[in-house]
Amino acid sequence: MKSLSIKLGVILIGLSVFTCAEVWGEDWKYLGEAMDGTFFYDATSITRPSENIVRVWVKLSYNEDGILEMVRKHGAKYKELSYALVSWEIDCSNKRYRISLEIFYSQKAGFLSSDTTGKFSERDFSPESVSDFLSKAVCK
C-alpha cells in the first residue's frame, strides 16, 4: 500500500510540474482581429524544420459571429466553442502556408474536437490577412 501511494504521489507531482511548464512556456502574441475572432501566435512554439519553413501554433479566440458560423457549419456541439489551437506550417520564401491540425475547445468542458483529416492544402497568403500578418511576424 505504501509503495502504491508513493508511486501515485510521484506521478501527481510530475503531472503538476509538467502542467506548469506548459503554461509558463506559452508566449501568445497578438496578431489581429478577423470576422471569426481574435488571433494570437505562440512565440515559444516557433520551429524551423528547414531554411524556409516555419511551424507555429496559432490561437483563435472565437467571437459570437465565429461561434454562430461554426454551429451553422458543424452543428450544435459548437455552441459552447471558446477557442481553437491551430498548427500552421509557413513556406516563407514561396509565401504559402498549410494548416496541419486544428483543436477546438469549449467554454465549459475543455476539449471539444480536433481535425487531422489531411484535408488542408497549401494556400497563398492574402494581403492584410491573418496569414500575411503571421508570416511577417515569424519569417524573420
Parse the chain into domains and list their residue ranges.
27-138
What does the pLDDT average to over 34-56?
A: 96
In this prediction, residues 31-50 reach a mean pLDDT of 96
* Least confident residue range of 10-14, 50-54, 66-70, 80-84: 10-14
Topology of 27-138 in CATH? Lipocalin (2.40.128)
Model's pTM, two decimal places?
0.77
Q: With a cut of 50, say whether residue 65 has pLDDT above it.
A: yes
Reported for 136-139, long-range contacts at CB under 8 A and 24+ positions apart, including other chains, are: 137/29, 137/31, 137/41, 138/41, 138/46, 138/54, 138/56, 138/90, 138/92, 139/54, 139/90, 139/92
Q: ∠ CA(126), CA(130), CA(134), 5° rounding? A: 105
Confidence of residue 4 (pLDDT cuts 50, 70, 90): very low
